[in-house]
Structure 1
């Protein structure tokens, strides 16, 4: 590319600034109307409409997912995928800041659209539902069903208490636990009952004891969804949902088997029957592309962004279905910092922080940095050639 990369980055940054009001309005609308995974009707529609106004051709309901979409502009040889998340959490709304993620994807797409021909780009925006639904993550389904075909690099930005260009995440899988016993009168004939709630209790104690033997980077967490209907009836059914996380998919398989043994032990100890299910597939660990991460770091440093120490971010381990994308397509998934500590993601106070002036500034900064990173990918010959060669086809 003969164009001056610095000048191109100035143009994308200016485009982000010009779109400030529309971007913030989109973020605040999504924030004010939180929708759960696979129910993001308004958020996906608003984002699709905003992209249409910028000249993108939008396909709604792709991959047989009503709230997924794909939007494209340009026909260049480098296909850039911008991932937009917009689902909320039960009870606490946008406590992971997906309103910011969706709006940053829009702002980046808006900034890149006028440069698509000049940079020989195809810009693809993928509306990816249900990132928070670990049993039915939207990106996994969209990846398997072809939505990412042709995309050669995938980018998004995620709000966090920390700023970091390439944080790591854990592989994760769900355990859907169903215990079945036998009901009985809890006072008149308790000896006739087989208590499914007791089976869960034994299993939970076993998991608690197991934790002392697990590595520090392993997580096992869960909730009981039901454990009886009335205190004078021995519960014959109990359900729980657990999430098991580990550093890699290989590690995850071993940890999952140990967690399953705890539930099987609870069933055995109480005479119950246990059924263990899972969702569509595990979330893979995130593999950040080193060249894209280096470019992002360079651009963020030039913009005056300051990163948290690696050791602090290394302890802040979550999971994302973008990890599955990163095993197939070169991927960048930075954290944009909101400086909220001790408040962290998945707390109500973090939801409140994601619609503040500081959050608005952060998402616009993140969008400008993603656009600058795309400029580098398009104009650095070796990087461009590698990405075109490595993309999904």
Structure 2
């Protein structure tokens, strides 16, 4: 893979390094939640527009989704930017690094778009943490015509062939009947008890879960006062599994626990989908190995192939993208001092010197990988054929 000559994308990223790091730090300093990333989008698209990208904000009927395009080549390569933060702990998943590296990759590829015969698209994808922005954008055609989609995500260490779990994000509402908890408890139907019974069922189910299946959640509403039998209760739960098929099995079994809670307490219940279902990552093997060669050449030491699947990275809506078209979602390591994503300490680490290096290294590695795909005749044909088949 390293035998093909590619243009000097490194120099473009290195020239833009001060601005890329400034962007990363600015996004980190002003974290915004899912579908509310207005300031973040403005900061990102400003950089791209200044370099000649045609920018459209609000694509796919999502106000904080955007498409920044450069070039006119037949091979359309997309770089996905994420920029939503987490409630209370800000950029504890390092999406500021993702967005800044995406801009760097886009700038590097745009510099050589004509030479490579490509169209570069930096696609802004909101609400990865909750809301499934990419799923909605896929359904609404935002990735139509894209031959390959690439992005890089920070973590405590480098994982090239990263794996993730399919995810169902659900809410369960129990409806009972209010009554005075002391004077007339027999008239009540306790919705909070329904949630308790359901959680006992889920706890017992855990001993029979298939490998890779997970359940976690909490009671988000359990009543208003101790002397009122709760007439309503709500649970918010994530169900995860290694594949979409395994997730469907888990969902059926967990749903029986929710139904049992309602039946045992004389309540009714309703299960709703909070966010679109995420599917598991299926990274493209050629792009994965090309990226691996690049980061190793840069002096990084990714986790061994045989260990990559031992610790899935939670769930991501990039999984849905990789199940439709070729794509990669490698993890680039930062010095997080023992912390992991979704911890406050990881948020603090997402603007340290190693995080700044990850912005630059991630942009260069993605740009090199994309350039190799564009200049390798067999891979170029494969990617273009894939677009035709999806049409």
Please state which band the TM-score falls in when normalised by the shorter chain. Answer: over 0.9
1:220 corresponds in structure 2 to: 215
Matched, 1:122 2:134: no
The 5 Å alignment of 1:92-103 reads: 92-103=89-100
Q: Which of 286, 293, 304 does residue 288 from structure 2 map onto?
A: 293
CA offsets 1:223-256 (integer angstroms, 9 cap, x no match): 2111111112111111111111111111111100
Following superposition, the deviation at residue 110 of structure 1 comes to 1.0
Matched, 1:229 2:224: yes
CA offsets 1:103-141 (integer angstroms, 9 cap, x no match): 1100111111110001001001110000011xx311011
Following superposition, the deviation at residue 102 of structure 1 comes to 0.6
2:246 corresponds in structure 1 to: 251
Following superposition, the deviation at residue 189 of structure 1 comes to 1.6
Whether the aligned pair in 2 keeps the contact of 1:61 and 1:69 (CA below 8 Å) is yes
Which ranges of structure 1 fall in alignment gaps of 5 or more residues? none
The 5 Å alignment of 1:1-393 reads: 5-6=4-5, 8=7, 11-133=8-130, 136-279=131-274, 281-309=276-304, 310-311=306-307, 314-340=310-336, 342-391=338-387, 392-393=390-391
Following superposition, the deviation at residue 312 of structure 1 comes to 6.2
RMSD: 1.3
Whether the aligned pair in 2 keeps the contact of 1:162 and 1:313 (CA below 8 Å) is no
Q: Aligned partners of 2:276 and 2:181: how far apart in 1? A: 39
Following superposition, the deviation at residue 339 of structure 1 comes to 3.7
CA offsets 1:270-312 (integer angstroms, 9 cap, x no match): 1111001114531111110000001001111111110124426
Q: Aligned partners of 2:359 and 2:275: how far apart in 1? A: 31
Following superposition, the deviation at residue 210 of structure 1 comes to 0.6
Q: Aligned partners of 2:271 and 2:224: how far apart in 1? A: 22
Q: Aligned partners of 2:314 and 2:99: how far apart in 1? A: 19
Q: Aligned partners of 2:5 and 2:186: how far apart in 1? A: 78
Q: Aligned partners of 2:4 and 2:13: how far apart in 1? A: 17
3-state SS of paired residue (2:169): strand
3-state SS of paired residue (2:42): helix
Which ranges of structure 2 fall in alignment gaps of 5 or more residues? none
Distance 1:341 1:259, change over 3 A: farther
Q: Aligned partners of 1:275 and 1:203: how far apart in 2? A: 13
3-state SS of paired residue (2:40): helix
Following superposition, the deviation at residue 215 of structure 1 comes to 2.2
CA offsets 1:125-183 (integer angstroms, 9 cap, x no match): 110000011xx311011111111111100000000112111111111111210001111
Q: Aligned partners of 1:189 and 1:276: how far apart in 2? A: 30
Shifted more, 237-246 versus 305-314: the winner is 305-314
3-state SS of paired residue (2:303): coil
Whether the aligned pair in 2 keeps the contact of 1:178 and 1:239 (CA below 8 Å) is yes
Whether the aligned pair in 1 keeps the contact of 2:202 and 2:257 (CA below 8 Å) is yes
